[in-house]
Amino acid sequence: MAHRKYNIRDIQKIVGGSVIAFHDDLPIENLLIDSRKITQADNSVFFAIQGDRHDGHLFLNEVYLSGVRNFIVSKDIEIASFSNSNILKVTDAVEALQTLTAYHRKQYKFPVIGITGSNGKTIVKEWLYQLLRKSKRIVRSPKSYNSQIGVPLSVWLCEDDYDLGIFEAGISHAGEMSALKRMIEPSIGVFTNIGQAHDENFDHWEDKVEEKIKLFYNCEVLIYCKDYKAVHKVVQEHEIVKTIPTFTWSRTSRANLQIGKIQKQEGFSTIQAVYNNNFVSLQIPFSDEASVENAIHCWTVMLYMGYEQEVIAERMLLLAPVAMRLELNAGINNCTIINDTYNSDLGSLSIALDFIHQQKHHDKKTVILSDILQSGQEGKELYDHVASLLKEKNISRVIGVGEAISAQRGSFAPIQAEFFADTAAFLKSFDSSHFQNETILLKGARAFGFEQISKIFQQKIHETIVEVNLNALIHNLNFFRSKLAPTTKVMAMVKALSYGSGSYEIAQILEFHRIGYLGVAYIDEGVELRKAGINVPIMIMNPQLQGYDTMIHYHLEPEIYSFRTFEAFETAVNRNLKDNDAPYPIHIKLDTGMHRLGFEDKDLNELIIKIKNNKKIKVQSIFSHLSSSDDLKESAFTRGQIDSFQKMSDKIMARFNYSILRHILNSSGIFNYPYGQFEMVRLGIGLYGVASDPGYQDKLMPVSTVKTTISQIKKIPAGDSIGYNRKEIAKQEMIIATVPIGYADGLSRKLSNRKGKMVVHGKLAPIVGNVCMDMTMIDITEIPAEEGDEVIVFGEGYPVTEYAKDMGTIPYEALTSIAGRVKRVYYQE
């Protein structure tokens, strides 16, 4: 399949600017915006995007060393450093990216479906792809690429052989949709719904609807549900949009597709409706309300496009779940398993390969890949492309499953490769000893049933898990970064298994997002991170004196809080470092009023002399701890601590002729005392989604959710007792569920006897009787449930803040109490 090619002078004619360095007119096919995700460098152009917190110009050398020779910049740069390169300077790199993509879109005349709304955009897009791909060659947004940067990367995928595009558009602020509209230029518009997302950025809900609806100017039709009154009102009254033809559905009023009865049972829904005065119906393999609504949107689109009802009903019955996330799990034989087993196309493969490339725990990386379905490319061309992607990400081994990929085995040399006709053949030959100490990506189209492969790779651990949302972690990091000056670094605290979320997995994603420092409590935590391939600087906050040699061996940096610790470390440095080695970094802890650890003001002169007398030691940072930054009633004391820290650190820094970092603010300090940022802050509990100030809690996303399942359900007659010591006596007939989590997993016994609760199907179920070591009973008398159903210990419906309150403690303890034996499952959308 041919992609239209541009060279740097073509791009200059399209976006403007000036060519400040020219080498050749080689064709450009790929757009790059992330120095960490370089693919096909020789025919790519890198846009150095400058944002509030990030600047692509800082990574131009890194991109150049990766082989890229085409650059679009908006700052003056040292051209001599980029020999044999083409460099175009523009006013704004994002605007240039969007202008180039808008031009590219105009070269194609096939129809495009544009989707926006508060919820359901990605599901509707993916389901339309499933429903239409038998009769159309479709280009679509990868995953949820719907932002100011994601949309141009999506639309750039347009090529000559496609005959339909499906793109989603998401906005969070006023004024954003016009740029997305000129790139997507939809002919068919779909407005899914309107909800509360990003309400804080709009004065009124009508403003948000009017902003979203700008996507549909000049559409041939607008498809929406009339039951969303806010949407319907704007469509009817807006001066521009009201002239666009509409094609609607509704459950309550007259519409093109009039929905009638909806019957739900055992994972299926039957939807009845009237269309063109005829009774029509279909069945979908889902019973939740969101899926029903999304399916009706798709039904309406297909009717508008002229599909026969029989064809629609047949295809709807085959709808598959949309894999909205990549999951990372511990596997057999010390393997790490990345599970992406519901679809296999080039766009999602590229995203999954980026994810496996980020993983540093194992040097060896294996991809188990099914046939690529509905790519629009023919056999050899397609698998040559796939093999190229695998080689660029340094994949060690590929296992192909399917007749199409097996037929192109020659494309994958020199990668170690095996091929199987189908999943059954792979399972029949499976030998677990052939998979050791490696990261394994499972990437299969749903028809290949890779969930069977996933099961044999999973480490056998009980049914209670901690789900860790990596997207939420990065959202929280970026939120706190938005509160800081651009030059302020962040030290992320990953001690105590990253507040219960896991160690190297969290450190790895933070390093990928260019965290300045990591902080852990003990040397062995730092050693584990180094062994997992983490290279970012790590501060040890409570190093054991006998471990200093190990710490130096792994390039870990100690907190020094007393003359005893300094002298012990000085001895270790003299023992381990040669005279010509660079000075070893240390972090000086000052006591500004918490009176736990640290040097006092009276100690500073002696400390300065000792440091200056040893050329093998360098002060990397000076820091202190705030005792009450979350309690505004103690603001006078906290301000006094910050003032003392300023004076004490100034005294030290004045005696050294190199730069030294300072940090005193923690998560709540960032909110309450922003003037105390200095050169770095330490981000702990806030990174994991907990704010001490309720006013900020809704700005953060919870990172960890503890889930379990119902092992058994019992009816308890009135008068019978439940659990150890007969602490619960049934006053009337009860229904209880036993779940496999207990105090050995970190569930506090303080939650016994109806003090705690869990969530079953969105409803709170109180804990009855005493919490046992490995099991707990909950009252589900008023909640319909079955054995095997999911139970949330804390998470949606019962946040960790409430869970901790019921325990009589703080979220710190609640999060860090979850035992290591509870499996952590990491996912990224």
Residues assigned a catalytic role: 495, 724
Could you give the CA distance from residue 523 to residue 543 in angstroms, rounded to a whole number?
A: 6
Contact 117, 144 (CB under 8 A): no
Contact 155, 129 (CB under 8 A): no
Could you give the CA distance from residue 694 to residue 698 in angstroms, rounded to a whole number?
A: 8
Could you give the CA distance from residue 690 to residue 704 in angstroms, rounded to a whole number?
A: 10
Sequence-separated (6 or more) residues with CB below 8 Å from residue 79? 20, 21, 87
Q: Which amino acid is at 524?
A: D
Could you give the CA distance from residue 820 to residue 801 in angstroms, rounded to a whole number?
A: 21
**Helix residue spans in 305-444 (DSSP H):** 309-316, 346-358, 379-392, 403-407, 423-429
Among residues 765, 773, 781, which one has the least CA distance to residue 730?
781
| Token digits of residue 655 | 């005696």
Cis peptide, bond prior to residue 245, ω within 30 of zero = no
Could you give the CA distance from residue 321 to residue 473 in angstroms, rounded to a whole number?
A: 25
Sequence-separated (6 or more) residues with CB below 8 Å from residue 144? 121, 122, 150, 168, 170, 324, 829
3-state SS of 70-100 is EEEECCCCCHHHCCCCEEEECCCHHHHHHHH
Could you give the CA distance from residue 337 to residue 369 in angstroms, rounded to a whole number?
A: 13
In sequence order, what E strands does 454-547 have? 465-469, 489-493, 517-520, 538-540
Contact 592, 664 (CB under 8 A): yes
Q: What is the arrangement of strands in the sheet containing 617-623, beginning at the earlier edge strand? A: 661-663, 617-623, 584-589, 557-560, 538-540, 517-520, 489-493, 680-683
Contact 252, 286 (CB under 8 A): no
In sequence order, what E strands does 1-150 have? 18-21, 30-32, 44-47, 70-73, 86-89, 112-116, 138-140
Q: What would you measure as the largest C-alpha separation in the chain, in angstroms? A: 93
Token pair 């970094």 is found at: 585
| Token digits of residue 622 | 């000076």
Among residues 600, 604, 603, 680, which one has the least CA distance to residue 641?
600
Among residues 252, 249, 247, 195, which one has the least CA distance to residue 225?
249
Contact 724, 483 (CB under 8 A): no
Coil, strand or helix at 788: coil
Among residues 184, 113, 115, which one has the least CA distance to residue 148?
184
Among residues 530, 533, 537, which one has the least CA distance to residue 360?
533
How far is C-alpha 12 from the chain's CA centre? 35
- Please say whether the dihedral angle defined by the alpha carbons of residues 193, 197, 203 and 207, taken in this order, is positive or negative: negative
Could you give the CA distance from residue 126 to residue 562 in angstroms, rounded to a whole number?
A: 60
Contact 460, 335 (CB under 8 A): no
Q: Supply φ then ψ for residue 648, to 5 degrees.
A: -65, -45
Angle ∠(730,732,735) on CA atoms, nearest 5: 70
The DSSP output letter for 347 is H
Could you give the CA distance from residue 480 to residue 687 in angstroms, rounded to a whole number?
A: 8
| Token digits of residue 457 | 């790779």
